[in-house]
Amino acid sequence: MFQSFKVTARPEQGPPRLAALREELVREGLDGFLIPRADAHQGEYVAPRDERLSWLTGFTGSAGFCAALTHVAGVFIDGRYRTQVKAQVAKEFTPVPWPEISLSAWLKEQLPNGGKVGFDPWLHPVGQITSAQKELNGSGIELMRCANLVDRVWADQPEPPMSPVKAHPIEFAGETAQRKISRLANDLKQAGHSAAVITLPDSIMWLLNIRGSDIGYNPVAHGFAVLHSDGQVDLFMTAQKLVGLEDHLGAQVSVHDPSAFLDAVGQLEGRVQVDPGTVPQIVADALGERMDEGGDPCALPKACKNPAEIAGSAEAHLRDAVAVIETLCWLDAQAPNSLTETQVVTRLEDNRRKDNALQDISFDTIAGTGPNGAIMHYRVTEETDSRLEDGHLLVLDSGGQYLDGTTDITRTIAIGAVGDEEKACFTRVLRGMIALSMLRWPAGLAGRDIECVARVPLWLAGQDFNHGVGHGVGAYLSVHEGPQRLSRVSHVPLQSGMILSNEPGYYREGAFGIRIENLVVVEEAPTLPGGDAERVMLGWRTLTYVPIDRRLIVVDMLTLEERDWLNAYHRDVAEKIRPRLGDDAQLWLDAATAPL
């Protein structure tokens, strides 16, 4: 528990590793090689063995890739990591703003006379390669399948994870694995598919009601699965992980060694459903014309939580709030300049450990003070550990993996006397969070249709932020879960039972960062007096109950409706959490939730 799962490199280690990789390019007759932050299972997080991008470049973000050519190495990063990448990579690596600049456009510029760029077909999803090849058509640039060249030069590459798998209790799952398999198999049959290939670890965990620990902070195990339309499942997972689970898996599930996966896929008959966004290119190669593109059959059912999963998540959030509030109480009792970021992280994680249901944290705790808070996914290290100085803002983003639910919460905290500009920016972020919290919308709308509501107060001041407003969250599964999102690119309609984050922010590079995050669950909204009873409306129910720092709020910037919402929220926080706290934290909470 609470172990480090990252393989990181210091900037000075990147150049010799890049040079070794380029020697392999020459041997293979290639002009470049693609290094994604991905493994064969295409989840968001990877095991130490698969931290190739970090090992080569030093960049530790959770999204991005490197295109290493013989003369230039581009590190492609989205808006969340523009500041972080500058501090983590050597000058031999060139940060590339992505997706503003696509891989294909960049390759055309760097290889104007054409060339051969290698890629490992296990590490790139079908859709990614298909799209890139289409965009490169006529350029003279070829994408070539090849062995993984980073693995050749990574002498001390860790071994694959082999953690044991355990059954996920029905009282938390809310539905048996057998029932899930049967209803999804029926969906395949109705669609005319003989089978579906599933590679996402959290999908396999959800389908079979199992959990693992192959990936840091995510209760998943590596494996592959084929769901057949007759209600049978072939699970390709190392047998030693599954010892003692024979009865749990039952007769519907047949276990095979992962080495047999590709041959088994090649022998499938009929039309096979494949998610082009997650299934590796090598699977498409094995299927050929039998492949039908479609979604991961588990994705949407997994996203729409059942009553047991929602109840478990709600209870987990109440216990998690105790750990956070106890930490905030302790933090406020310390004088400015007396603590470091690491001390805050340690205290918060120690408080979470007091809950016996806690299995792990749900991601690296972010405690960024002052300029570090402007790094959206900042992770404190020995080199960056900073003191919480008078006038700083502290962005504290953290979460826990509990047997009954996954939590993720961000609070921005005043350290000493904070300036008026910081307070004004904080209040705009808060207004956006409140606006989205109060929103009701017609069923059928997707995240892209409503996410701007949380940005409007910032937009009116000429401000914005370079990350989505919210992401899906699993039920004791991945803290970032699809397909639902609150982002400009999300086309998935929001449905009852989906859990998402509501987390607008604002970041001023070199100065400060602000983010406020609650988790919320979609539910049908009651018809208001005079409303149209025939139109189904959706809304949110809040799961997170931790005070928002009143010291940072410019009250005159709030509307009466916004003030009423915040006061009601704080009343709920006090009512739900106060009885669970110690004496000191109760007194602190009374002050923190006093009406505005």
The CATH number linked to 546 is 3.90.230.10
CA distances from 94 to 81, 84, 115, 116, 143 (A): 13, 13, 20, 20, 21
Evaluate the CA torsion angle 534, 537, 543, 544 in order and state its sign.
negative
- The answer on 404 and 553 residing in a single domain is yes
Would you state the pLDDT for residue 45?
A: 86
Would you state the pLDDT for residue 2?
A: 40
Of 153, 179, 211, which closes a domain?
153
- The answer on 175 and 48 residing in a single domain is no
- The answer on 279 and 217 residing in a single domain is yes
In a domain, 243, yes or no: yes
In a domain, 3, yes or no: no
Angle of the 307-332 helix axis to the 560-577 helix axis, nearest 10:
90
Question: Would strands 518-524 and 537-542 be described as parallel, antiparallel, or unpaired?
Answer: antiparallel
Tally of structural domains, the chain: 3
Would you state the pLDDT for residue 6?
A: 52
In a domain, 159, yes or no: no
Of 122, 153, 184, which closes a domain?
153
In a domain, 101, yes or no: yes
- And the tokens for 356? 């016996």
- And the tokens for 570? 């704080």
Tens of each residue's pLDDT in the chain, 596 residues: 344 445 556 788 889 999 999 999 999 999 999 999 999 998 888 999 999 999 999 888 878 999 999 999 999 998 888 888 888 888 889 999 998 999 999 999 999 999 999 999 999 999 999 999 999 999 999 999 999 999 999 999 999 999 999 999 999 999 999 999 999 999 999 999 999 999 999 999 999 999 999 998 999 999 999 999 999 999 999 999 999 999 999 999 999 999 999 999 999 999 999 999 999 999 999 999 999 999 999 999 999 999 999 999 999 999 999 999 999 999 999 999 999 999 999 999 999 999 999 999 999 999 999 999 999 989 898 889 999 999 999 999 999 999 999 999 999 999 999 999 999 999 999 999 999 999 999 999 999 999 999 999 999 999 999 999 999 999 999 999 999 999 999 999 999 999 999 999 999 999 999 999 999 999 999 887 777 777 899 999 999 999 999 999 999 999 999 999 999 999 999 999 999 999 999 999 999 999 99
Distance, in Å, from the CA atom of 116 to the CA atom of 471, rounded to the nearest integer, reads 37
With beta carbons less than 8 A apart as the criterion, state whether 492 and 505 touch: no
- The answer on 258 and 208 residing in a single domain is yes
CA distances from 1 to 216, 363, 400, 425, 522 (A): 9, 12, 11, 37, 31
Would you state the pLDDT for residue 3?
A: 41
- The answer on 265 and 316 residing in a single domain is no
In a domain, 363, yes or no: yes
Distance, in Å, from the CA atom of 508 to the CA atom of 553, rounded to the nearest integer, reads 18
Distance, in Å, from the CA atom of 306 to the CA atom of 135, rounded to the nearest integer, reads 41
Would you state the pLDDT for residue 79?
A: 81
List, in order, residues 6 or more apart from 137 with CB less than 8 Å away. none
**For residue 232, what are the domain limits?**
166-301
- The answer on 382 and 243 residing in a single domain is no
- The answer on 339 and 260 residing in a single domain is no
pTM check: above 0.75: yes
Q: What are phi and psi of 498, to 5 degrees?
A: -75, 135
- The answer on 318 and 296 residing in a single domain is no
In a domain, 385, yes or no: yes
With beta carbons less than 8 A apart as the criterion, state whether 589 and 543 touch: no
- The answer on 175 and 297 residing in a single domain is yes
In a domain, 53, yes or no: yes
Distance, in Å, from the CA atom of 560 to the CA atom of 536, rounded to the nearest integer, reads 28
Cross-strand bridge partners of residue 502 = 518
- The answer on 54 and 195 residing in a single domain is no
CA distances from 556 to 334, 427, 430, 596 (A): 29, 10, 13, 10
Q: Nearest-CA neighbor of 516 among 391, 427, 447?
A: 427
Of 124, 153, 182, which closes a domain?
153
In a domain, 160, yes or no: no
- The answer on 309 and 225 residing in a single domain is no
Q: What is the CATH number of the domain that holds 192?
A: 3.40.350.10
- The answer on 278 and 171 residing in a single domain is yes
